[in-house]
Amino acid sequence: MLLCPACRPLLAAALGLAARRRLPRHHGKRRAALSPAPVAARLRSAAGSGEAGGVLRHLLLKLRSTGPVTVAEYMREALTNPGQGYYTRRGGVGEDFVTSPEISQMFGELIGIWYVSEWMATGKPNAFQLVELGPGTGTLTGDILRVFNQLAALLNKCDVSIHLVEVSPKLSAIQAQMLTEGKVQSTPENKAAYMKGISKAGIPIYWYRDIQDVPQGYSFYLAHEFLDALPIHKFQRTEKGWCEVLVDIDPEVPDQLRFVLSPSRTPATENFIQPEETRDHVEVCPEAGVLIQRLACRIEKDGGAALIADYGHDGTKTDTFRGFRNHKLHDVLKAPGTADLTADVDFSYLRKMAEGRTATLGPIKQREFLKNMGIDLRLQVLLQNSRDSATHAQLLHSFDMLMNPKKMGDCFHFFALLPHHRLVHPTKKDNPQSKSPLPPVAGFGELSLK
Ligand code: SAH
What would the pLDDT profile of 227-264 be if each residue is shown by its tens digit? 999 999 999 999 999 999 999 999 999 899 999 999 99
Band of residue 38 on the pLDDT scale cut at 50, 70, 90: very low
Give pLDDT, residue 26.
Answer: 38
Band of residue 3 on the pLDDT scale cut at 50, 70, 90: low
Output 32 or 303, whichever has higher pLDDT.
303
Neighbour tally for 324: CB within 10 Å: 23
- For residue 134, report the distance from its CA to the centre of ligand 1, in Å: 3
Share of the chain above pLDDT 70, in %: 85
Residue owning the nearest CA to atom 14 of ligand 1: 134
Band of residue 11 on the pLDDT scale cut at 50, 70, 90: confident
Any atom of ligand 1 within 6 Å of the Cβ of 140: yes
Residue owning the nearest CA to atom 26 of ligand 1: 134
Any atom of ligand 1 within 6 Å of the Cβ of 93: no
- For residue 293, report the distance from its CA to the centre of ligand 1, in Å: 19
Any atom of ligand 1 within 6 Å of the Cβ of 165: yes
Quick one: average pLDDT of 100-109?
A: 96
- For residue 295, report the distance from its CA to the centre of ligand 1, in Å: 17
Band of residue 209 on the pLDDT scale cut at 50, 70, 90: very high
Going from the C-alpha of 279 to that of each of 273, 275, 282, the distances in angstroms are 10, 11, 7
Output b/e per residue, 420-447; b: 16+ Cβ within 10 A: eebbeeeeeeeeeeeeeeeebbbbbbee
Highest mean pLDDT, choosing among 7-11, 17-21, 370-374, 428-432: 370-374
Residue owning the nearest CA to atom 2 of ligand 1: 136
Any atom of ligand 1 within 6 Å of the Cβ of 80: yes
Quick one: average pLDDT of 111-123?
A: 96
Quick one: average pLDDT of 88-116?
A: 84
Give pLDDT, residue 5.
Answer: 60
In whole angstroms, what separates CA 9 from the centre of its chain? 27
Task: Identify whether the C-beta of residue 88 lies closer than 8 Å to the C-beta of residue 168.
Answer: yes
Pairing outcome for strands 304-313 and 241-249 = unpaired
Backbone angles phi, psi at 190, to 5 degrees: -80, -5
What single-letter DSSP state applies at residue 92?
-
- For residue 133, report the distance from its CA to the centre of ligand 1, in Å: 7
Residue owning the nearest CA to atom 10 of ligand 1: 134
> Has residue 448 got a pLDDT over 70?
no
Q: Tell me whether the omega of the peptide bond preceding residue 363 falls within 30 degrees of 0, making it cis.
A: yes
Give pLDDT, residue 13.
Answer: 78
State which of 23, 26, 167, 175 you would mutate to test the pocket of ligand 1, scoring each by most atoms of that ligand within 8 A of its C-beta.
Answer: 167
Any atom of ligand 1 within 6 Å of the Cβ of 224: yes
> What rounded mean pLDDT belongs to the chain?
87
Neighbour tally for 383: CB within 10 Å: 13
- For residue 75, report the distance from its CA to the centre of ligand 1, in Å: 14
Any atom of ligand 1 within 6 Å of the Cβ of 225: yes
Rounded to a whole number of angstroms, the distance between the first and last alpha carbons of the chain is 21
Give kind and range of the element (H or E) at residue 104: none
Band of residue 432 on the pLDDT scale cut at 50, 70, 90: low
Share of the chain above pLDDT 90, in %: 74
CA angle, corner 62, sides to 60 and 66, nearest 5?
125
Quick one: average pLDDT of 152-156?
A: 95
> Has residue 50 got a pLDDT over 60?
no
Output 247 or 24, whichever has higher pLDDT.
247
Any atom of ligand 1 within 6 Å of the Cβ of 134: yes
Any atom of ligand 1 within 6 Å of the Cβ of 288: no
CA distance 48 to 101: 24
Any atom of ligand 1 within 6 Å of the Cβ of 229: yes
Neighbour tally for 212: CB within 10 Å: 10
**Which one-letter amino acid corresponds to residue 448?**
S
DSSP code string of 319-354: ---EEEETTEEE-TTSSTTSSEEE--EEHHHHHHHT
What single-letter DSSP state applies at residue 258?
E
Quick one: average pLDDT of 255-281?
A: 94
Any atom of ligand 1 within 6 Å of the Cβ of 171: yes
pLDDT tens-digit series, residues 368-412: 999 999 999 999 999 999 989 999 999 999 999 999 999 999 999
Quick one: average pLDDT of 15-20?
A: 71
319, burial (CB in 10 Å: exposed 0-12, middle 13-18, buried 19+):
middle
Band of residue 450 on the pLDDT scale cut at 50, 70, 90: very low
Any atom of ligand 1 within 6 Å of the Cβ of 342: no
Contacts of 444 (CB under 8 A, 6+ apart): 361, 362, 364, 369, 372, 414, 416
Any atom of ligand 1 within 6 Å of the Cβ of 136: yes
Q: Give the three-class secondary structure for 375.
A: helix
Any atom of ligand 1 within 6 Å of the Cβ of 226: yes
Lowest mean pLDDT among 23-32, 145-154, 187-196: 23-32
> Has residue 44 got a pLDDT over 60?
no
Band of residue 424 on the pLDDT scale cut at 50, 70, 90: confident
